[in-house]
Amino acid sequence: MDERKRIEELRQKLLDMDLEILRTIERRARAAQDLSKLRSGSARYAAVSDGVHLGALEKAAAPPLQPASIRPIFNAIDAACRVFEVVPRIVFIGADGGFGWMAARSHFGPMAELVRGESPAAAIEEVARSRAEFAVVPYESLVDGPIFPTIQAIAASDLKLVGEREVAQTLVLVNGSGNPSDVEKIYVAPQDHIACVHYLEANHPRALVLDVRSPIMAWELAGENRGSAAIVPRGSVGTHDLRIARENIADAGEVRIRYGIISRLPAQRSGADATALLFSVHDHPGALHDILQHFKERSCNLRRIQSRPVPGEGWEYLFYVEVSGHLTDRSLVAALEGVKREAKTLKIIGSFPLEFPEPPQPESLERPR
C-alpha cells in the first residue's frame, strides 16, 4: 500500500507540474503572438525559437534531461504557439504526412495551411505568382550536396531563401501491438514502398503490401484493420494509437535532407545567419581565386562551395557558395561589392537564420541592438 500510495502521489505531482507547464506555454503563445504583430515581412512567420535560442537552451539543460532532447521539445512548443492573424499558405513537396509535409509543419506549426506541390519548380512558381506565401522544398542532401535544379529555379524566379529545416528521413513500421510478427498486411505510400523493397522482401515476404495515397492514410488504415501495419516517417502521428514495431527500415537507412524555405520577401537579420549565392567566373587564370580572396580579406567564413556545369554552355561552370553572415552585415556587403566587380555573373539566393548556428565569433554573430 505504501508503494501504491507513493505512485499516486508522484502521478498527482506530475499532473500539477504539467498544468503549471501548460499555463506557462499559454503565456508564451500570447508573447509569441505579440512579437509576430511587431514583425514585418517574412519575419512575421519565422520561428521564435531560432538556432541561437535553441542553442542556449541546450547549454542550459541539466540531468536527467539530455541536450539532444531539448531541440525537439522546444520546436514542438514553438510550433504549437503559432497563432497567425493571416494564416500563411505553404506549398510543400510529397504526400500528406511525408517528409516534406513534416518539414513544413515543424517550421510553420499546425495552424498553417499546407498545400501539396508536384515538384520544387511548381512550388516555387506558386510563390512567384503570389498564390502562396512560402514554399518548402528539398534544398540539400547529405549524400549529394546542394540540389542545383532547385537553387537555379529560386534564382530564376527572383525569390529568396529565408530559412532552413533539416529533416532526418527515417522510415518505421508501426502497428497496434508493436510486434512485427503480428503483421499480415502493410499499408504504405508509393515513394516509401520503393524505399523499403528489400526490407519487405526479407522480413515480410508473405504480407500483403497495399499502396495508398499518403503516410497519413497508411496510418489510419493500419489502425482500423486488425493484423495491419503501416510504413510511415518517424515522428508521424495519427488518430489511432500505433506503436513502432521496427525502426529505420529504409533500404538506404536514414537520409538527412535540408529543406529550404522560399519567400518573395527577404529574411531579417537574426544575428546567426548565412547567405547563399551563385556566381560564374571569367575564363582566365586565377579567376576563382580572385573572387574568393574578397571573402578572406573581409573575414567572411565560407561554409560551402560547390560547382556545377551550366546546361548548354559547354564547359562553363556555376559556383554555389554559402557564407556566414547576413546580406546587410558590413563585412559581407564589402566582400560582395568586390565579388560583383570580378564575377561574370552574381545572383544572391538569400540570407537565412541558421537552424544549427556556428560557435559565436567576435562581432560577426552579435545580435543587433
Nearest 5 degrees, angle CA 340-CA 265-CA 357?
A: 75
Instruction: Flag whether pLDDT at 109 surpasses 90.
Output: no
In the chain, the largest separation of any two C-alpha atoms, in whole Å, equals 86
Of 250 and 50, the structure prediction assigns the larger pLDDT to 250
Q: What phi and psi values does residue 233 have, to the nearest 5 degrees?
A: -65, 145
218 and 336 in one domain? Answer: no
**Pair (17, 153) in one structural domain:** yes
Q: Please check whether residue 369 lies inside any domain of the structure.
A: no
Mean predicted confidence (pLDDT) in 125-145: 93
Residues 35, 20: one domain?
yes
The cell for 42 is 517574412
Are 12 and 161 part of one and the same domain? yes
> What single-letter amino acid sits at 11?
R
The tally of domains found in the chain comes to 3
Predicted TM-score (pTM) of the model is 0.83
Statement to judge: residues 188 and 129 lie in one domain: no
Mean pLDDT of the chain: 89
Contact 93, 119 (CB under 8 A): yes
Contacts for 38 with CB less than 8 Å, ≥ 6 apart? none
Same domain (yes/no): 150, 85: yes
* Whether residue 284 has pLDDT greater than 70: yes
Query: What is the DSSP track for 251-273?
Result: TT--EEEEEEEEESSPPPP-SSE
**Collapsing DSSP states into helix, strand and coil, what is residue 214?**
coil
Would 152 be classed as within a structural domain?
A: yes
Q: Is the pLDDT of residue 365 over 60?
A: no
- Domain-located, residue 162: yes
For residue 363, being part of any structural domain is answered with: no
Last residue of a domain, one of 231, 263, 295: 263
Full strand arrangement of the beta sheet holding 171-175: 208-211, 185-188, 228-233, 171-175, 243-246
368 located within any domain: no
Domain of residue 130, residue span:
2-169+258-263
Burial of 367: CB neighbours in 10 Å, binned 0-12, 13-18, 19+: exposed
38-52, 222-236, 251-265, 314-328: which has the minimum mean pLDDT?
Answer: 38-52
**Co-location of 136 and 23 in the same domain:** yes
Is the same domain home to 179 and 147? no
Q: Which residues contact 41 (CB under 8 A, 6 or more apart)?
A: 265, 266, 267, 268
| 324-345: pLDDT as tens digits | 999 999 999 999 999 999 999 9
Query: Can you give the CATH number for the domain in which 244 is found?
Result: 3.40.190.10
Residues 180 and 198 grouped into a single domain: yes
Same-domain pairing of 60 and 114: yes
**116-120, 159-163, 354-358: range with lowest mean pLDDT:** 354-358
For the ranges 37-46, 244-253, 260-269, the lowest mean pLDDT is seen at 37-46
More confident residue, 181 or 46: 181
Shared domain for 125 and 75, answered yes or no, is yes
- 152 shares a domain with 20: yes
Confidence tier at 126 by pLDDT (50, 70, 90): very high
How much is the pLDDT for 362?
Answer: 45
Mean pLDDT of 200-228: 94
Burial state string for 174-206 with b = 16 or more CB within 10 A and e = fewer than 16: bbbeeebeebebbbbbeebbebbeebbeeebee
What is the CATH number for 342? 3.30.70.260
Q: Can you read off the three cell numbers belonging to residue 189? A: 505510400
pLDDT of residue 360: 53
Give the residue among 365, 326, 319 at the shortest CA–CA distance from 346: 319
In a domain, residue 365? The reply is no
In-domain check, residue 232: yes
Rounded average pLDDT over 121-138: 95
pLDDT at 229 over 50: yes
pLDDT per residue as tens digits for the range 141-177: 988 889 999 999 999 998 999 999 999 999 999 999 9
End-of-domain residue from the set 263, 296, 331: 263
Residue with cell 500539477: 16
pLDDT of residue 273 exceeding 70, the answer is yes
User: Is 204 strand, coil or helix?
Assistant: coil
- Residue 346 has phi, psi (to 5 degrees) of -145, 130
Flag whether 200 is in a domain: yes
